[in-house]
Amino acid sequence: MIRLNNVALRYDRGPDILTDVNFHLRPGSFHFLTGPSGAGKSSLLRLLFMSIHPTRGQIHLFGQDVSKITTAKRAQHRRRIGIVFQDFRLLDHLTTWENIALPLRVVGKRIDDYREDVTDLLQWVGLGDRMHAYPSILSGGEKQRAAIARAVIGKPELLLADEPTGNVDPQMARRLLRLFIELNRLGTSVVIATHDHQLMRQFKAPRLELHDGHVRIV
């Protein structure tokens, strides 16, 4: 599913954020990504989503070297990935329901085929009464849950989540973790960047530990 060989990353002329990163994640795996603030967790997820390119090294995703694929193929790969950004990235002109349904709409599915699934997921993440609200009136926690729902609605092959429980209470965090676990049980590979040690204690999974630009799996 994912293979990084000697990957390094730096922005402009700054120091390396990542240095000679090597790891392989098999299909259907579940990993927590940990490390201190500023260690490069968000940057690593952006590399895996192909929104930035490594300074050097190779990234293989879905069996292909991403540096050698076309722009169109890269877009196709991204449709196989669900991603939760820390800044949510909801579209302000769409309601909560429409934001969550967007990945399905983009791939051409008929609304009658997913209407019930979107509504049920909204209820699961506690946004049933906010489905017609616009992002501008949602709280940070509500935006977080909407972003998670949007990332998982299409049952992606790979889910990347950047601090997905950072704006919710512990009870909702446990509920969202169950959602990630169920998605993984159905075959999705999951990588969750988190500082939440309580969350990690609830589910035994390998950790990608990021420190001083290097990653090790423990």
pLDDT in tens, 122-164: 999 999 999 999 999 999 999 999 999 999 999 999 999 999 9
- Residue 166: its pLDDT value, please? 87
Average pLDDT (200-212) is 94
- Of the pLDDT bands very low, low, confident and very high (cuts 50, 70, 90), residue 32 is very high
Q: Which residues contact 186 (CB under 8 A, 6 or more apart)?
A: 155
DSSP conformation class of 8:
E
The average pLDDT across 210-216 equals 93
96 in Cβ contact with 138 (< 8 Å): yes
**What's residue 213's pLDDT?**
92
Provide the 3-class DSSP secondary structure of residue 15.
coil
Domain of residue 168 covers: 2-217
Residue 130 per-residue DSSP state: G
What's the whole-number average pLDDT of the chain? 94
Residue scoring higher pLDDT (138 or 14): 138
Tell whether the model's pLDDT for residue 37 goes beyond 90: no
Which residues in 79-94 are b (16+ Cβ under 10 Å) and which e? eebbbbbbebebeeee
Element (H, E) at 177: helix 170-185
Percentage of the chain surpassing pLDDT 90?
89
Contacts of residue 207, Cβ cutoff 8 Å, sequence gap at least 6: 31, 32, 33, 34, 200, 217, 218
Number of folded domains that form the chain:
1
- pLDDT-based confidence at residue 110 (cuts at 50, 70, 90): very high
CATH of the domain at 167: 3.40.50.300
In this structure, how many other beta carbons lie within 10 angstroms of the beta carbon of residue 38? 9
How many other C-beta atoms are found inside a 10 Å radius of the C-beta of residue 203? 15
- The pair of three-digit structure tokens given for residue 34, joined into one six-digit string: 């940990």
In the chain, the percentage of residues whose pLDDT exceeds 70 is: 100
Q: Is the pLDDT of residue 185 over 90?
A: yes
The 3-state DSSP class for residue 187 equals coil
3-class DSSP state for residue 214? strand
pLDDT of residue 19: 94
